[in-house]
Structure 1
């Protein structure tokens, strides 16, 4: 009976994941859907016990549930895109003269993250493109004092948000020179999106740092509006690299709508497993993957080699990856 109950609970979570974006509203549904990848754990336990105890009907239903989970998350385990061995070698040093770059995004928790640790990670990982969210007015100065300008000499920080405060501003730092700089790429109520264009090998890449509102009580419309605004970038003719705290996971219908047929979530195509990023400041490990590296599909760039890193002072893990120009 206990195993059937566990399977029914898992099926309930999976049913929420199937809801269309128009019905996946409120606070409870988005928050519950965030934990869908964790269902692999109880489902595997049910599978093993059903096999050992010869519960054939239960075994069939559990296999079906695991099969559906595997289909939904296939790109996390079977790569459909990846950088070359040459790119992996190239990012061992930071250089604007090759066609690869190590990239990184981090939510700084209203500027409470350790600026020194961020700069150290940028140095150790040879990061060439850095996107940060929730910057306080003083945090950029802390980064400069820690030496960020020596590693990434070009930067842009967004305008203040026009509506609800979402923890601070967003910023971009790069090794390559920036052009077509914007402090507020598209109107968004909670967190203006800075953007800048850089050259990575043969690719002209439009970098955007984003942080839409979370689906907290009374702000679900801001969450939906923010994701929709980011998704509207698909209507512009650029090779986009969009990094940040999206406050949504691959399992959210709203996030999949954002991606549409124009964008790719690097985590969901690299075949390198899940990279949980939140929360990172508790005794338990991060449980959800709400920080993402999204890029334009079939645009001459590809992203893989994802990894996370801990920075003290913030509740998010840093998310890193390697970008390669393949055009």
Structure 2
């Protein structure tokens, strides 16, 4: 190395040094990203940075290029290995499952941001998608009244809604009758459960969920609620389950992937939808993280898309599910 640089000028040596340091810094970012993907962080910093794992993993590409250009071969090999590991962590989101033949059930979920979002945009998506189920987070009494002034009631005439101010409220709207409705205990925000007979999927349990966010609240509360949510849905006796809402967690949070056991699958994972970013949706730049989800058991997601909601800081999610074996 010293011999290769000996005949070079001072400016080149400085540039070379900066390039190597930059390559190592990018490599360090990838190592942190992979670690955060697997590590069930509990602190505010770790939970926040885990949301950015897909973006941090991209650092592996310039790291490989820079380290190869500077002939740091051991570091280059390490960067290539880490690039492969990074791709492995995201691969489930890139490969679609084969959806069985059968009638599709459409689920829409939307966060209406303290009840201030444009409910007409949500209703328009329900209508255009032919939704069978709608879950709404942060629904206030005023927002519920605005929903009831639209044609939503004619499309989804059955509802179980526990509205509230300050982002507490949650609701389930259904094309088919709901029964055995209940509000879940142990959550700061309203999390709901109901049973419904869907086409090809009788006695389906539906959860409309909204765990407390790890920021600006104590992240330990978020960790506790994610654990409680896992225990709740995994103890469901029904074979078919749909969990829909703003989970305040991404694919790269280990606590979120812990939900995806006991037969549960993420709709993005099943549909091969890659990264459907939903938050924040009220900035000058596009959403950068995906915290709104539909997960299910004994269903296969055939399609997943997002849609805009005026005055909401979330994009909505619309998912087509097919009953497994349907």
**Secondary structure, aligned partner of 2:123:** helix
Deviation at residue 221 of structure 1 after TM alignment: 2.5
Residues 1:64 and 2:81 aligned together: yes
**Secondary structure, aligned partner of 1:127:** coil
Q: Partner of 1:187 in structure 2?
A: 185
Q: Partner of 2:95 in structure 1?
A: 78
Corresponding residue to 2:194 among 196, 208, 212: 196
Deviation at residue 248 of structure 1 after TM alignment: 0.8
Q: Partner of 1:265 in structure 2?
A: 266
**Secondary structure, aligned partner of 1:72:** helix
Distance 1:49 1:268 in 2: 32
Q: Partner of 1:92 in structure 2?
A: none
Deviation at residue 62 of structure 1 after TM alignment: 1.9
Distance 1:313 1:218 in 2: 23
Task: Count the aligned residue pairs.
Answer: 302
Q: Partner of 2:206 in structure 1?
A: 207
Distance 1:47 1:273 in 2: 23
Q: Partner of 1:10 in structure 2?
A: 30
Distance 1:274 1:257 in 2: 19
Distance 1:30 1:231 in 2: 18
Q: Partner of 2:117 in structure 1?
A: 113
**Secondary structure, aligned partner of 1:247:** coil
The Cα offsets for residues 200-254 of structure 1, whole Å up to 9 and x where unpaired, read as 2221221111000011255223212221221112112112100001111111111
Distance 1:271 1:51, change over 3 A: farther
Residues 1:34 and 2:32 aligned together: no
Q: Partner of 2:161 in structure 1?
A: 157
**Secondary structure, aligned partner of 1:320:** strand
Structure 1 range deviating more: 257-266 or 136-145: 257-266
* Higher alpha-carbon Rg: 2
Residues 1:293 and 2:309 aligned together: no
Distance 1:34 1:174, change over 3 A: same
Aligned partners of 2:43 and 2:220 also within 8 Å: no
Structure 1 residue runs without a partner (length 5+): 88-98
Aligned partners of 1:213 and 1:219 also within 8 Å: no
Q: Cα RMSD (Å) of the superposition?
A: 2.0
- With normalisation by structure 1, the TM-score equals 0.86
Deviation at residue 50 of structure 1 after TM alignment: 4.5
Deviation at residue 180 of structure 1 after TM alignment: 2.1
Residues 1:45 and 2:49 aligned together: no
Aligned partners of 1:82 and 1:305 also within 8 Å: no
Aligned partners of 2:144 and 2:163 also within 8 Å: no
Deviation at residue 151 of structure 1 after TM alignment: 1.4
Deviation at residue 54 of structure 1 after TM alignment: 5.3
Aligned partners of 2:112 and 2:137 also within 8 Å: yes
Distance 1:60 1:166, change over 3 A: farther
| Superposition pairs of residues 234-245 of structure 1, within 5 angstroms | 234-238=234-238, 239-245=240-246
Q: Partner of 2:42 in structure 1?
A: 25
Distance 2:316 2:274 in 1: 16
Distance 1:44 1:125 in 2: 38
Deviation at residue 259 of structure 1 after TM alignment: 2.5
